[in-house]
Structure formats: C-alpha cells, structure tokens
Structure 1
C-alpha cells in the first residue's frame, strides 16, 4: 500500500516554526548547542515548552534545521562563481557577497563557528558531502583560470579558505573589530573599508605577472 504523502503545513504552523527558529538562532548563537535548552528557546519564542515540542521533537532537530538553512545561504555566493566570467570580477563579487553576509547574518555565522569549534558532530556529513563537492567544483574553475594564465598559480583550496577566514572575521569577531577601530571607524563603514582592503589584498596578489 502506498504511503500517505506528508500533510502540508498550515500558514499558522509555518509561522510558528519560523518564530521558533528565530528564537533558537538567538539562543544557539549566544549559548552554543550544549548551553542552549528547549526551555530557553521556548521562552525566547514566547510559547510553552509543550507547544514548541509539537513543532520540533528535540533540540537537535531545531539545530539541524538552522544549520541546513545556514549552509544553503552560506554556499549561495560560491555557487555563483562563474567559470566563463572574468576571474577578477567573479572573485571581487564573491568577496563582497561574503562581507555582506558577515554584516547581515552575524548570529548565523557565530552559530556555524560554534558548531565547527565543537568538532562539527552534527553537521560532518554536510561538510564532507555538499560543502566538499561544491568547493571541489569551484577549485576546478579557479584552476582553469590559472591554466589559462588569467590569474597567478596558487593553491585554490587555500585561496577559498583565506577568503572565508578574512570575511567571516567581521562577524565572528565583530565586538573586537569595533573595539579596536573605535567609534569613528567602527560603524557600518567598516565593511566598505574591509571590502576595499580585501579586494586589494587578494586581487592584486592574483594578477598575472608581466
């Protein structure tokens, strides 16, 4: 006998799930997975614990949903790296998009960083699967640019890692960045300053010699 198709969520159910996920993002990004509790998430969501458990049976289910969404968002700029585009334009756009995400999604970035620092026990299959496959694909694109003499030869994996590290720093270490820059330079303009610096750092270093 055929299995019944899962029932579609009502608008109210969808809205409630979004409220829970937004509250959980706040709690997880502040407390980490281990420090966060269902009670804290329910309180932040403004609902009872039994009501929350109607939508998500376990803390792990909430966390996994957030991480899967985050990875989808996080990987979108890398997916857009186009092999037929101009390498400098493509890489400049990628750096800019990553900085925009650091500016617009700081809690999500800290959530991901906390998971990685704990050894990625809940997302290792995603890292070894979807993430690795996409990075391998874009490494092939960058190597193609190198073979064509459009950028200097370097290790494309470490190029991608370096872009991740330098852009996500502005989300994961936001408090430190603002403290060091001070009130005059620690506002939103810091992201434009960072973009100009990182473009110079990476793109000048990748220009073909001679």
Structure 2
C-alpha cells in the first residue's frame, strides 16, 4: 500500500514539474549586456490577436515606456522621446532603444491587453528582456536565461531528490516499526494446552 501511495505521489510531483517547466518556458526572457551609447531592439511578439501593446519596465512592471494600439495610436515615455523607434503592428512590434544610459538598466516586459466580454484581459507576450547597460564591456550578447529546457531539468532533478528522500524516510519508518514490534511478540505468552489427566484417571477407575 505504501508503494502505491509513493508511486502516486511521484506521478503528481512529476506532473507539477512539467507544468512549472512549461510556465517557465512561456515566461522566459533574455539578458542583454550592452555598452553605454549603444542601441538595442526588443522584439515583442504574441501568438494571439491583441489590441494593445505596452512596453513596461521594472520588477513589478510599474513604469510604462511605450504604448501602441492596433489602430497605430502610440505614446512614448518622456525619458525615451528622442531615443525610441518602433516598427510593425500589434501584436508583433520591434522596439528600438537608442543612446542607452546606465539608468536604462532593468527588466523590460512585453505586456498585451485585449477586451473580451466587456473586460480587459492582460497577458505577457514573448520578447521580454533584462537589459544591463555598462560603461565598458563586451558587445551585445543575448543569452537565454531561465529557459524552459534548463528549468525543466532543474525541476525534474528536484523531484527525483524529493522522491529519494521520501523513500529513505519510509524505509527508516518501516524498520523502526519492525524493531519496535519484535520485543512485543517475544513477550506474548504461549497459550497453555489443557491436560486431560483427570479424565484419563476417571476412566481407569470406572473400568475397575
């Protein structure tokens, strides 16, 4: 019974791992290191139809950098008025940031909004980047971070380790139960078998 429960638990953990890996792949982004004064292109993409695209900055997406609607209405943050250009239409838009400064360092998110049933639904698209602007350093070198494959491997390894620890704990628990119950079995008194000596003696008396 314990083996069946353990097997079910491992299957549940594996399913959770795959779900988390898929989500990580969807939310994956790139880190770009670039020198001051250079430029970078952020390629925002979405597989579904969208009405509005926001390029946001900050860990909590608190700052709006750029806004574009499917009707080509756009708004640019004052910090990037003369340094931002865009090409394409919602949902696939290439956003060019020029003359980068140290203050431009941070995460940039491609956020889409779509009205459905009188509600405005928000979703994060592909193309988000972590921009690191340095005074001196190598040329722009996009490098994937937190990709689906690496995250999947990491989660699966964690599942295997958790399963191994669980098996070890169950084995120790079973061994402890066996050791605990063994002295109890040895102390149980054997059941005494009734002796029929009196009955045999009476039979001999009657025959006489």
TM-score, normalization by structure 1 = 0.23
TM-score, normalization by structure 2 = 0.23
Structure showing greater radius of gyration is 2
Q: Pick 1 or 2: higher relative contact order, CA cutoff 8 A, min separation 6.
A: 2
More helix, by proportion: 1
More strand, by proportion: 2
